[in-house]
Amino acid sequence: MTPRYLGMRLATFVLTILVASTLNFAISRLTPQDPIAALLGRMASRGRTVENGAEILALYRERLGLDDPLPQQYLNYMGNLLRGDLGYSLAFFPIKAEAVILRALPWTIGLLSVATLLAFTVGNLLGALAVWPRVPAGFRWLVYLSMPFSAVPYYLLALILVYLFALNWSVFPLGGAFTPGSVRGFDLATLGDLLHHATLPVLSVVLAVIGFWALSMRGIMATVLGDDYLIYAQARGLRSRRIFSHYAMRNAMLPQVTALAIDFGRLISGQVLVEIIFNYPGVGWVLYNALRAADFFVIQGVTLFMVFAVALATLILDLIYPLLDPRIRY
Amino acid sequence: MTRRLPRFLTPVMTLGLALLALVLVPGLLGQFVADPEQMRLMAGGINAPPGHDHPLGTQNEGRDLLTYILKGMPNTLLIGLVGGGSAVLLGTVLGMLAGYVGGLLDGVVRNTVDIGLTIPPLAILIMIAASFSIVTPLMMGLVIALTSWMHPTRVIRSQVLSLREREFVLLLRLSGASPLHIVFRELMPNLIPFLAATFVNAVATAILASIGLEVLGLGSFQTPTLGNLIYFAIIGNAMWLGLWWWWLPPIVIFIVLFMGLFFVSTALDTLANPRLEQG
Amino acid sequence: MATMSGQARESVVVLAVEGLSIHYEMRAATVRAVDGVDFELRDNEVLGLAGESGSGKSTLALGILRLLRAPGRVVAGSVRFGATDLLALDESALRELRWRQFAYIPQGSMSALNPVMRLQAQFRDTLTAHGERMPRAAMHARFVDVLQGVGLDADLLPRYPHELSGGMRQRVCIAMAMLLGPRLIIADEPTSALDVISQRVVLETLAAARKAIDASMLLIGHDMALLAQVTDRLGIMYAGRLVEMGETGTLFRDARHPYSRRLIASVPDVRARREFQSEAMDSEPQWPLDEPLQEVAAGHFVRPWGGGYDS
C-alpha cells in the first residue's frame, strides 16, 4: 500500500466526518428558534414536561453561544468536537454527553459485532453451500426460507421474537443486558447471564441479515463455480473441501467484504432500533431516552457516533482489503 | 439459439404483485369505508379485544384500531411513494447527467455520492426530525428522499456508463444528436426495467426509514400511520399487557408489504438483467 | 526382439474414446457440441485435434476429464483410460487418478490459476492432494525442478499469478502438469492467448517436457502450423464430429475432406482464416456428417461428404 493511497483514504475519512458534523451543525441552526428551545417546545407539545426548563435553557444558550455570529458558533462547535467535548447531558445534568454515550458503547459494540460476524459467516456459508455440487438439497431450502426474513425490518422481527420467546414461552428474558441486581464478575455465571440476555437481540439482527448475505453469496458462487481456476483445481484432483475453502470461498468472499463496508450504515441503524425494543442499555437505548427527554447534546452525540462508527468501519475494511486481494495495489 | 425474453408475469412477479395487492387494495380503498367517528377518543371501550363492534379491538384511548389502520395505511404508502419517487427522480437526473456528460460534473457527483453513502441516513434523519417538526407525510417523504438519493444515483450512473459505450449510442453521437436527446429519449427506454427495480427498492427504503423515525418517536403524531401505531403500542406497553391486536396487525401488514416489494424488485431485476435467470 | 517389443509398446492404447456425445441441454435448445466421436491415443503418442472455435474440441477435452459444467452432459459413449472406464468412476476414485495419471493444461491459462494464492501454495496443494508427504525443502526442490524444466526461474514461486506474463503463466501450467509425471496430458489450446513468438516457445517447451516424462498427449488447437510441428497424428473436427484423421504428414500431404483442406490451406494467410472461421461458425454444416468414417488408406480415415476422394 502506497503512502499516497493511505493519505487519500484517511482524507476521505476525515472529510466524511467533517461533512456529517457540519450537516449536524447546519441542521440544528436552521431552525427559526434556537435548537434547545425548539426541542423543549416540541416535547412540551407532546405532553412531556422538562423540569427546570427555563434554567437549563439559559445554560445552554450560553454553552452554544447563540448570541455569537454564526461562523464563530461553527468554530466553537468544531473545536469542542475535536476535543471530544459533546456538551452536558440534560437528563443526567452534571454528567457530560460523551460520558453517557461511552458508558453505553461496549454494549452496542458487543451486540453489533457478534450479530454482524455471525450473520456474515452463516449467511455466506449457507449461500455458498446452496449452489455447491452434491450438497444436500436442504441447504437450498434454508436459503429460500431465510429470504422472507431478509425483507422484514429487524425491529419488527424483534417485536415478534419478544412476544414468542420472552412473553409467551419465557425462554429468554424480556429485555435488558443482565439480570438486575445480580453480581457481575468475570465468571461463567455472568457470561451465561449476558448471553441469555443477548440471544434475542442478536437473533433478531442475525435472522434478518442472514438472508441478505446468503442470497448475494448464492449469486456470486454460481458464477465462481464456472470460473477457470475452479475447474483447474478440480482437474488437479484437489479435495472438494480444499477447493471450497481456498479456491471458491476465498474468491467469492471478496465482493462480500466490499458489500459489508457498504452495508454497515444499515446495520448500525437497525441495531439502534433493536436496542429500543429490548431495553438493551446500548447507544440506541441512550438515543431513545434522550429523544424523549429532549437531551439535545446526547442526541447530537449519538448521531455523530453513528457517523463516526460507520466511517471507521469502512476505513478499516478498505485498509484490510488489499491484504485479501493481492491484485489490488494502491 | 434464440433467447426469448422472459415474460413479464414470472411466478416471482405474480407472487410479489399478489402480496402487494393484499396490502394496497384495502390500504387505498379502506379509507373511504372507514368511519372517522371511530377514530375519536373513547369510540369504544379501553383496550377492548377484537369483537363485533371493533373487528381489531381498541387501544388505550378507546380508538378503533381497524379504522386507525385504514386511515393510516394511505399515509404510510404516501411516505413511501413520495420518498422513493423523489429519491429515484433525483438519482435518475443526476446519475444520467453524471454518467453521460462525465468530466467535472461526474467527478463532483461521484465524490458526493461516495461520501454520502458512508453517512448513515438515520443519523441525519434524526437530527432533521429533532430540529424541525415534520407535520405531514409529504414532508416526511421529501426529507427521507434528501437522505436516500445517493444509492439510486450511483446505480443509474453505472448503467448509463455501460450503455453509452454501446454501438447505437456511438452512432447517435456521430450523427450529431444532442446529449440531452440521447440521454432522455434513447437511453431512458433501455433503463425502464432497471429504473422500476430501483424505484421499488427506494420505496421500501423510504417506508423503512419512516418506520425507524416513527418508532423513535420522531414522526408526525397528528397523522395516523402504521409506524406511529407501533410507537404508541410500545409506549402503551401493549406487548406486556398482552394486547396483541394492537401491535401485531401493523407488523403483519409491514411484513406482507415488504415481502411483496422484495419479490417484485427481484423479478424486475431478472427482467432488467436476464443473466440472473440461470443459477 | 527389439522391434517386436517396440511395436508392442507402441500399440498399447492409453486412451480410447468411443461414440462420445456431449450435449448442452438448455431450455431454448439442445446443442450437440460433440457428436459420436471415436479415437484412440497410444502410448507415447501425440494426437492433435484441430478445428475452429465452436467445433466442440474444448468440450471434448472437458468431457474426457469429467470436468463438464451444467448444462453440458455426456449423453452417450465411453472413455477408457487403460482398462478403466472413466465415465463410470465415482468421485473419489476419479480424484485418485487425476494428475497422477492424467494432467490437463487449460485453454488460456490466464484465469486458470487461483488469483489470490501464491504459485508455491498452488503447487503445494497439488502435491498434498495426492498424499505426497515430504519435508518442505524437498517439496521446494521439486517445484524448482519442474519450473526449470519449462525454463522458468525458482524466484517465481512466491509470486501471485497476476504478476506473471501470459506466456509465463502458460509455462507454469505446463510445469504443474509435470509435477506428478502423468501418463497422459490433455492440452486444450495451450497457446491460444499468446503472441506469435511466445506461442512457438511455449509449444516447444510443452513438447520437450512431454518427451522428458514419456507421456502421451492429446493436443487441441486451431493453428495447423503449430499442430504440424509436434503431433504424430491429427484429427480434424467439424461441428462436433471428426471428419478426417490420419498421420500428420499424410494429412498435410493428402487431406481428402474439403474442410480439412481449407483448414490446411488457411495456414499461411491469417486474414483468409479469419473470414473462413466466421463463415463456418454461424452457418449450418456444409457437408453431410451422418455416414461413418471410411479408411481410405492405412490409418487414414475420412468421413464421406458426397464428393470424390481423389486429391
pLDDT digits (tens, 9 = 90+) for A87-102: 877 777 678 889 999 9
Residue A251: the pLDDT is 94
Choose the closest CB to A303 out of B114, B115, B126. Answer: B126
Please answer yes or no on whether B119 and A310 come within 8 Å at the CB atom: yes
pLDDT in tens, B116-146: 888 889 999 998 888 777 778 999 999 999 9
Q: What average pLDDT does the structure give for chain B?
A: 85
Please check whether residue C129 touches A, CB under 8 A.
yes
Residues of C with Cβ-Cβ distance to A241 under 8 angstroms? none
Residue C8: the pLDDT is 45
A residues 263-282 closer than 8 Å to B (CB): 265-266, 268-269, 272-273, 276-277
Beta bridge partners of C217: C46, C185
Please check whether residue A251 touches C, CB under 8 A.
yes
The CATH homologous superfamily to which domain C111-183+194-215 belongs is P-loop containing nucleotide triphosphate hydrolases (3.40.50.300)
Please answer yes or no on whether C162 and A234 come within 8 Å at the CB atom: no
Residue C268: the pLDDT is 54
Domain count, chain A: 1
Residue A160 lies in a domain: yes
Residue range B222-234: average pLDDT? 89
Residue range C81-90: average pLDDT? 91
Residue A38: the pLDDT is 64
**Torsional class of A324: left (φ above 0), alpha (ψ -120 to 50), beta (otherwise):** alpha
Strands C72-81 and C84-85: antiparallel
Distance (Å) from the alpha carbon of A167 to chain B's nearest alpha carbon: 7
Please check whether residue A144 touches B, CB under 8 A.
no
Of B178-187, C32-41, C156-165, where does mean pLDDT reach its minimum? B178-187
Of A181-185, B47-51, B172-176, B234-238, where does mean pLDDT reach its minimum? A181-185
Alpha carbons B272 and B194: distance in angstroms, whole number: 5
Measure Cα distances from A196 to A167, C111, C129 in Å: 15, 48, 43
Residue C246: the pLDDT is 93
Residue range C228-248: average pLDDT? 92
Choose the closest CB to B118 out of A159, A300, A314. Answer: A314
Alpha carbons C297 and C276: distance in angstroms, whole number: 28
Distance (Å) from the alpha carbon of C219 to chain A's nearest alpha carbon: 16
Residue A172: the pLDDT is 87
pLDDT in tens, C99-125: 999 999 987 657 899 999 999 999 999
Residue range A51-55: average pLDDT? 65
State the DSSP code for C13: E
- Is C283 a residue whose pLDDT tops 80? no
Nearest CA in chain B to A303: B123
Task: Report helix, strand or coil for C70.
Answer: coil
pLDDT in tens, A186-217: 788 888 888 989 999 999 888 888 888 988 89
Residue B117: the pLDDT is 87
Cell of A304: 455523530
Please answer yes or no on whether C129 and A226 come within 8 Å at the CB atom: no
Alpha carbons A280 and A178: distance in angstroms, whole number: 9
Please check whether residue C162 touches A, CB under 8 A.
yes
CATH topology of domain C1-97+232-306: Rossmann fold (3.40.50)
Strands C184-188 and C216-221: parallel
Instruction: Give chain B's end-to-end CA distance (angstroms, integer).
Output: 19
Distance (Å) from the alpha carbon of A152 to chain B's nearest alpha carbon: 6
Residue range A302-330: average pLDDT? 88
Alpha carbons A8 and A114: distance in angstroms, whole number: 31
Q: What average pLDDT does the structure give for chain C?
A: 85
Nearest CA in chain A to B244: A163
Alpha carbons B251 and A168: distance in angstroms, whole number: 18
ipTM of the complex: 0.88
- Is C2 a residue whose pLDDT tops 70? no
Q: Dihedral of the CA atoms C125, C127, C130, C133 (nearest 10)?
A: -110
Please check whether residue C117 touches A, CB under 8 A.
yes
Confidence of residue C55 (pLDDT cuts 50, 70, 90): confident
Of the two residues A143 and B229, the one the predictor is more confident about is B229
Residue C6: the pLDDT is 42
Task: Report helix, strand or coil for B43.
Answer: coil
Confidence of residue B55 (pLDDT cuts 50, 70, 90): confident
**What domain range is A226 assigned to?**
109-293
Rounded to the nearest 5 degrees, what angle is found at the Cα of C130, between the Cα atoms of C125 and C135? Answer: 65
**Number of B–C residue contacts, CB under 8 Å:** 8
Residue range B70-83: average pLDDT? 94
Beta bridge partners of C242: C237
Residue A44: the pLDDT is 64
Residue B277: the pLDDT is 42
One fold for C1-97+232-306 and C111-183+194-215? yes
Of A110-119, B25-34, B178-187, B262-271, where does mean pLDDT reach its minimum? B178-187
pLDDT in tens, A251-280: 999 999 988 987 888 888 888 888 988 889
DSSP-assigned states of every residue in A235-261: HTT--HHHIIIIIIIHHHHHHHHHHHH
Please answer yes or no on whether B240 and A28 come within 8 Å at the CB atom: no
Measure Cα distances from B3 to B165, B269, B274, C26 in Å: 23, 17, 10, 10
Share of chain B above pLDDT 90, in %: 34
Of the two residues A285 and A327, the one the predictor is more confident about is A285
Residue range B157-174: average pLDDT? 79
Residue A34: the pLDDT is 63
Domain residue extents for chain C:
1-97+232-306, 111-183+194-215
What are the two backbone dihedrals, phi and then psi, of residue C77, each rounded to the nearest 5 degrees? 100, 175
Residues of C with Cβ-Cβ distance to A132 under 8 angstroms? none
CATH number, domain containing residue A207: 1.10.3720.10
- Is C216 a residue whose pLDDT tops 90? yes
Nearest CA in chain B to C31: B1
